[in-house]
Amino acid sequence: MSDKTMTLTLHVWRQTSPSAAGEMKQYTVDGVSPHMSFLEMMDVLNEKLTTQGEEPIAFDHDCREGICGMCSMVINGKPHGGHRGVTTCQLHMRHFNDGDHVYVEPWRAKAFPVLKDLVVDRSAFDRVIAAGGYVTVNTGGAPDANALPVPKTESTLAMDAAQCIGCGACVAACKNASAMLFVSAKVSHLGHLPQGQPERYERVKNMAMQMDAEGFGTCTNLAQCEAVCPKEIPVRVIAELNRDLIKANLKGG
């Protein structure tokens, strides 16, 4: 891979506050190494802006290891840049070419209001999780929890769903801003474990109701969510949520 640096033209969404009108602003970034991550490139731009006495671009980040789900950016129209199984912090500049124009925007969803620049309020996800409540199974410490027998097939399905990092890319990619993949992953995770059985149907109803109350849209099965999910959560979990929701409504509890 070449070590030659690049010059990029960035078109970045700037918005000073939730009530302010935002706009795309253009910036030139020189000396971009192909070894940089996208967030490192944004750091370089912010250092330049700070040196020039301008307000740096606000964006979410934390672990920068593809674990926390904070790095929420729509890059050239695709959440996290559109590469399979990759978060924004794992997106490297080798995927871009010298002279490219790159468009950077926040998640676009009614339930994710913009706070500033590329930072959105994703506390709606927290409220959906809280609506699911706690499990009543007394598992004690980790050794006690591991003493509960779980079939291999079920534990694998549970772990597949538990990989969800709650980044919200599924919402940003969906034309309806649906949170079905996120909510389904949380429901599926506990639905495949014995610890999640006592409150299983109450949980799915409460989480689905909270999801609707937050203003997320409906699912129309286009699977755009699966395509952009950095942890590649399959849309199969949405079918599982729908089945549990039907059962919950039939049970009337």
Show the CA angle centred on residue 131, arms to residues 250 and 206, nearest 5°.
Answer: 15
- Tokens representing 157 are 């399905």
Produce one character per residue of 151-169: b if its CB has 16 or more CB atoms within 10 Å, e if not.
eeeeeebbebbbebbbbbb
Do residues 106 and 117 make contact, with C-beta atoms less than 8 angstroms apart? yes
Rounded to two decimals, the pTM is: 0.92
Sequence letter at residue 20 = A
**What is the per-residue pLDDT for 5?**
94
CB-based contacts of 43: which residues, under 8 Å, 6+ apart?
A: none
**What is the per-residue pLDDT for 2?**
60
**What is the per-residue pLDDT for 141?**
80
- Tokens representing 16 are 């000073």
Of 80, 60, 176, nearest in space to 120 by CA: 60
pLDDT tens-place values along the chain, 253 residues long:
567 999 999 999 999 999 999 999 999 999 999 999 999 999 999 999 999 999 999 999 999 999 999 999 999 999 999 999 999 999 999 999 999 999 999 999 999 999 999 999 999 999 999 999 998 988 778 777 778 889 999 999 999 999 999 999 999 999 999 999 999 999 999 999 999 999 999 999 999 999 999 999 999 999 999 999 999 999 999 999 999 999 999 987 5
Q: Alpha-carbon distance 177 to 218, whole Å?
A: 8
Q: Alpha-carbon distance 249 to 80, whole Å?
A: 36
| DSSP code string of 187-244 | HHHHHTSGGGSTTHHHHHHHHHHHHHHTT-B---S--HHHHH-TT---THHHHHHHHH
